[in-house]
Amino acid sequence: MSYIESIGQYFIMFRDLFKKMTKASQLKRLILQEIHVLMTKSLGIVIFISFFIGAVITIQTALNLSNPLIPKSLIGYAARQSIILEFSPTFISVIMAGKVGSYITSSIGTMRVTEQIDALEVMGINSLNYLVFPKIIAMLFYPFMIGISMFIGIFGAYMAATIGGFLSSSEFLTGLQEDFIPFHIIYAFIKTFIFAIILATIPSYHGYYMKGGALEVGRASTTSFVWTSVVIIVSNYVITQLLLS
């Protein structure tokens, strides 16, 4: 299938998603289940990576600021900007494309291979709404996870700076507050919201429309991760140009 056909089918999926809604009681159960699987189970790896990347950013910045004329508080400033603007929204989203995206593609793809999706259609259920819509709603909670990532990343940067002896606690906190622009937080969460939609829909598309057997499920998961990552990176560039330039 050509890229143009794939893009067209992707947007047709959005139209068909709302054709026939699943019962509210079932949707509530499915949404809570997806929140647990997609968000809660991913929180541990997000916290772990955020802490150590924040620490690494601080150490690398401190080691490269050897000029005594440059104030040490700049380390805290650089850590804050790096974590809020790029690391937490974008880098974590690429990691989630591998963890969450692969899970979504493989789970829906397995249902396609085992004809469970066909069974849902036979019972008169809109399979797209039943399978994909709860994942989209669950991923709308993704900005909360990125907020936690920002906090943990900055905390990791603080711990590395103070315990490593690169600068004092007061110097780090001074840099953390220096030239703070509130819109940068808004920009980060706008990106995160768009990335959440991408993380829910592109893997779902690759799983739902895949053809073949068990071997193709693995291939679809790989393709899903690649395209989700590509779209996230390209979207990051476009959003940054629109909102910050």
Checking if the pLDDT of 52 tops 70, the result is: yes
Predicted confidence (pLDDT) at residue 106 exceeds the cutoff of 80: yes
Residue 236 makes CB contacts below 8 A (sequence gap 6+) with 89, 90, 191
- 19 secondary structure, DSSP code: S
Domains contained in the chain, number: 1
CB 74 within 8 A of CB 65: yes
Would the pLDDT of 154 be above 90? Answer: yes
Report whether pLDDT(171) > 90: no
Classify residue 18 by burial, with Cβ atoms within 10 Å: 0-12, 13-18, 19+: exposed
Count of CB atoms within 10 A of residue 213's CB?
9
pTM value is 0.91
Task: For residue 7, give the amino acid letter.
Answer: I
| Cα 87 from Cα 57, distance rounded (Å) | 10
Question: Token digits for 201?
Answer: 């829909």
Instruction: Give the mean pLDDT of 3-14.
Output: 85
Cα separation, 182 vs 139, whole angstroms: 24
125: pLDDT strictly greater than 60:
yes
With beta carbons less than 8 A apart as the criterion, state whether 54 and 153 touch. yes
Q: What per-residue confidence (pLDDT) applies to 229?
A: 94
Task: Indicate the burial class of 110 (C-beta count within 10 angstroms; 0-12, 13-18, 19 or more).
Answer: middle
**Which pLDDT value is given to residue 1?**
54
The rounded distance, in Å, linking the Cα atoms of 46 and 166 is: 26
Position 132 scores a pLDDT of 92
The pLDDT, as a whole number, for residue 6 is 84
Per-residue pLDDT for 207 more than 80?
yes
**Closest-CA residue to 78 (of 99, 62, 97):** 62
Q: What is the mean pLDDT of the chain?
A: 90
DSSP letter at 22 equals P
Q: Which domain holds residue 198?
A: 3-244
Judge whether residue 2 has pLDDT over 90.
no
| Cβ atoms 40, 142 nearer than 8 A | no
For residue 217 the two structure tokens come to 């499920």
pLDDT at 189: 95
> How many CB atoms are closer than 10 A to CB 66?
7
Looking at residues 139-160, what average pLDDT do you find?
94
Q: How far apart are CA 206 and CA 6, in angstroms?
A: 10
62 confidence band (pLDDT: 50, 70, 90): confident
Please provide the size of the chain in residues. Answer: 245
Q: What is the 8-class DSSP label of residue 2?
A: -
Query: So what's the pLDDT on residue 197?
Result: 95
Given a cut of 70, whether residue 176 has pLDDT beyond it is yes
pLDDT score of 19: 84
- Per-residue pLDDT, averaged over 35-50, amounts to 93
